[in-house]
Amino acid sequence: MNTEVLVANDARSLTRAAELLRAGRLVAFPTDTVYGVGAPAFDAASVASIYIAKERPPEKAIPVLIADASDLPRIAASVPDCARALIARFWPGALTLVLPKRPDVPEIVSSDTTVAVRIPDLDLARALLRLTGPLAATSANRSGQPSPVAAADVMAQLGGRIAAVLDGGPCPGGIPSTVVDCTTSPPRVLREGALSLSVLRTALPDIQ
């Protein structure tokens, strides 16, 4: 497979990336944290190809990226009050929330009753998401390898395995998002990333 490199400062590149994604092809793109590789969240076959490209263990769920909070009801069955407090403070941003999953979200995205969701704080990523709708997306690396922060990093690991990479330059963050499970009481941090526990407690004091 020939992996296209689409330069983000060309408006046609964004359109091309969206076209490929809507056709079920895999595209890597920058976020505020690291480069992700995405597929339409409701296209189970396309999401399955992420596991193949990354050599990702099948038991690991894939988060969903959305452009705006108004897209959340398409993915989450409900939004607990603790999640609303974190959303108000940290979205868009480097915070992934685990929420109750809508039944129509494919099992290959998440095999249990929850789903991880985030709004990236990068205009380019959100512009792409507005063209495609929610994307199942995870870091654009081979499983177990370093998360990519530049298009060249993506090509080194996934070149020939995905349809395209949208080159938007280096990611501003470089650290994966923090993951919080909002389906437990109290909510708990599953992975501490760009946002520390102490920062999260400024919005939600009982978070563990």
Determine, yes or no, domain membership for 182: no
**DSSP-assigned letter for residue 91:** -
Is 145 contained in some domain? yes
Report the share of the chain in percent with pLDDT over 90. Answer: 96
Question: Is 137 domain-assigned?
Answer: yes
For 105-120, the pLDDT digits (tens) are: 999 999 999 999 999 9
At 181-191, the pLDDT tens digits run 999 999 999 99
d(CA 191, CA 60): 14
- Is 26 within a domain? yes
Q: How confident is the model at residue 10 (pLDDT cuts 50, 70, 90)?
A: confident
Domain limits at 126? 4-176
68 inside domain:
yes
The residue-averaged pLDDT of 70-99 equals 97
Q: Which residue spans within 30-157 are E strands per DSSP?
A: 36-40, 64-65, 95-100, 114-118, 135-139
On whether residue 191 sits in a domain, the answer given is: no
Q: Helix, strand or coil for residue 131?
A: helix
Strand ordering across the sheet containing 27-29 = 4-7, 164-167, 27-29, 36-40, 135-139, 64-65, 114-118, 95-100, 178-181, 188-191
Distances (CA, A) of 23 to 130, 132, 170: 16, 10, 27
Asked whether residue 184 is assigned to any structural domain, the reply reads no
CB 34 within 8 A of CB 98: no
Q: What is the structure's pLDDT at 104?
A: 96
118 falls within a domain: yes
Number of domains, the chain:
1
Range 37-52 average pLDDT? 98
pLDDT at 4: 97
Sequence-distant (≥ 6) Cβ neighbours of residue 187 within 8 angstroms: 80, 82, 83, 86, 180, 181, 204, 206, 207, 208
Report the CATH number at residue 93: 3.90.870.10
